[in-house]
């Protein structure tokens, strides 16, 4: 497992633990997004990427067709 920045075709940048990379999908855990916390956009806070996710489910599997790049 390693922490990665994942850019989606929707424009979202998600920071998450990359649990597994499959041929057509990735499995991630503890995904968060950075959000501006003031009007100027000079300060950032972090929030869960999937806030309505069932807390009993730790991993999310995402199709690679939604991913632009992983760094």
Burial group, residue 7, by CB count within 10 angstroms (0-12, 13-18, 19+): middle
Q: What is the pTM of this model?
A: 0.85
pLDDT for residue 30: 95
Q: What does the pLDDT read at residue 41?
A: 76
DSSP 37-49: -STTS--EEEEES
Q: Which residue has the tokens 């649990």?
A: 19
| Digitized pLDDT (tens) for each residue of the chain, 71 residues in all | 799 999 999 999 999 999 999 999 999 999 999 888 988 878 999 999 998 999 899 999 999 999 999 99
């Amino acid at each position: 497992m390693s922490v990665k920045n994942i850019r989606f075709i929707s424009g979202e940048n998600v920071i998450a633990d990359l649990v597994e990379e499959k041929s057509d999908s990735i499995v991630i855990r503890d995904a968060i997004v950075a959000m501006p916390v003031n009007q100027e956009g000079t300060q950032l806070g972090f929030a869960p990427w999937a806030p309505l996710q069932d807390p009993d489910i730790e991993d999310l599997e995402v199709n690679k067709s939604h991913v632009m790049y992983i760094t």
